[in-house]
Amino acid sequence: MDMLILIVSTLLKIGFVLAIIFSFAPILIWAERRQSAMIQDRIGPTRADIPVPQSFVPAIRGALGAGSGMHLLLAAVSGLVALWLAIEAGFVAHETGEFLLEGGIGGTELDPLLSWNGVLWLAVLFVPLNLGLSRALSYGSRVFDGHITLFGLVHPIADAMKFMWKEDFVPENGDKLLHAIAPMLTVLTAIATFTVIPFADILYLDALGDVIPASGAIAGDFIPMQVATVNVGILFIFAVAGTGVVGAAIAGYASDNKYALLGGLRAAGQMVSYEVTLGLTIVPMFMVYNSLLLEDMVHWQMGNWWGIFINPLAFVLFLTASLAEAKRIPFDLPEAESELVAGYFTEYSGMKFGMFFMGEFIEVIVLSALATTIFFGGYDVPFLTRSGFEFMGYIAEVPHWGVIAIQMLSFVVKIALFIWFQLMVRWTLPRFRYDQIMNLCWKVLLPVSLLSIMVTGIGILIMGG
């Protein structure tokens, strides 16, 4: 492969990973601030607004209201995108000319604008999407008494501006070097763990516009759709993620603050404990997949069953341990506001505090991606093969680039669903006491994880026999 292509492809993959991280992280912040305020009926993100002159209110309501030009524009764009996708996909029925998708738009006698494919794509995919966007636009941008809410974005925008302009305070007796290094360690290690997670199948450069066979070797240059292919696989994630403990511990020590020190000690004890359990929860999946490489785990699930159906207990244990590892409610004792003010980052302000804040949400995204890869097939889509969709003898052929795009979209959607679930947990459960957290780890999750490993091993021996 040409070196220029390799460099460009690597940069594009890094850009895609960063796009996922830095798209979901602000959305998480917005959702946590706005939705928590709505649940608790607090004045804040739900009521923050921008004042506008009274004379502009009718025009704004007309632009954002139902049946407005904005909604008609969304409908037109949805329809055009739907027809373009149908034309590019060229769906073709495999066995019968009576099937609804027969004769797809790619090279038949049917007029593209009248093809059933175009109608199906438009109706099934884009009309509900357009209606949902329109409804969200009308509800989120409510205008009342000369004020516009802007989806509750005013507070997060103000927070971001404060992070950038606020004074960088360092305690007088604190360690200035360690005080600066701690938030960097937290953010960089969280981002680095994403580099070995695959987000699509192998991309064959010489067959981008072709429909490739569902199985078998493909000649030509190819690009693995993950930033780095490392032969130690998931061990790399645990090795890098483990250094995140150092960031929290250093922050507590370098702040010269008793609350921060207690928060750092709590973070170190909790994260070290749950890191052991987190690793053991997925050992049964290594035994089933017979590999430590994340791409091999996805391929196994594509040819068999998703991991959640193989060992649902391992998934429950992994999800619980991952919440504790990310220090999210109900496991947020290292930063318990009611006890420790803000825990190990009590003495942080400005962008340093912003890095801790962002790092926590990046950990949520990475753990969601890891759960997706190990237990929910990664980028796998039911009935989708390398050549397109196959169902009950019918084949809907899709070009290679289309298959890759669908897999990447599937990966992102699954991550979004896991993030949503973690937000639901965060808004639902109360905080544990610290002794309860440690008892849960060492007296419940760890023994059950070992039991899961034993049962899986016995099952493999029986099935192998």
**CA separation for the pair 233, 293 (Å, rounded):** 4
Listed in order, strand segments (DSSP E) in 3-85 are 50-51
* Segment 105-122 mean pLDDT: 46
Give the global pTM.
0.75
Between 117 and 213, the higher pLDDT residue: 213
Describe the crossing of helices 154-165 and 350-375 by its angle, rounded to 10 degrees: 120
Among 96-105, 215-224, 286-295, 450-459, the range scoring the smallest mean pLDDT is: 96-105
Whether the predicted pLDDT of 402 surpasses 50: yes
With a CB cutoff of 8 Å and minimum separation 6, the contacts of 463 are: none
Please state, in angstroms and rounded to a whole number, the distance separating the CA atoms of residues 359 and 343: 15
Q: Is 233 helix (H, G, I), strand (E, B) or coil?
A: coil
Element housing 450 (H / E): helix 446-464
Q: How confident is the model at residue 449 (pLDDT cuts 50, 70, 90)?
A: very high
- Measured from the Cβ of residue 170, the count of other Cβ atoms closer than 10 Å reads 18
Is the separation of the CB atoms in 198 and 20 below 8 Å?
A: no
Helices (H), 304-346: 307-310, 312-325, 337-340
pLDDT tier at 102, thresholds 50, 70, 90: very low
For 159-210, what is each residue's pLDDT tens digit?
777 777 777 777 778 778 888 888 888 888 888 888 888 988 888 887 777 7
Q: What gap in Å lies between CA 427 and CA 39, rounded to an integer?
A: 8
Task: With H, G, I as helix, E, B as strand and everything else as coil, classify residue 377.
Answer: coil
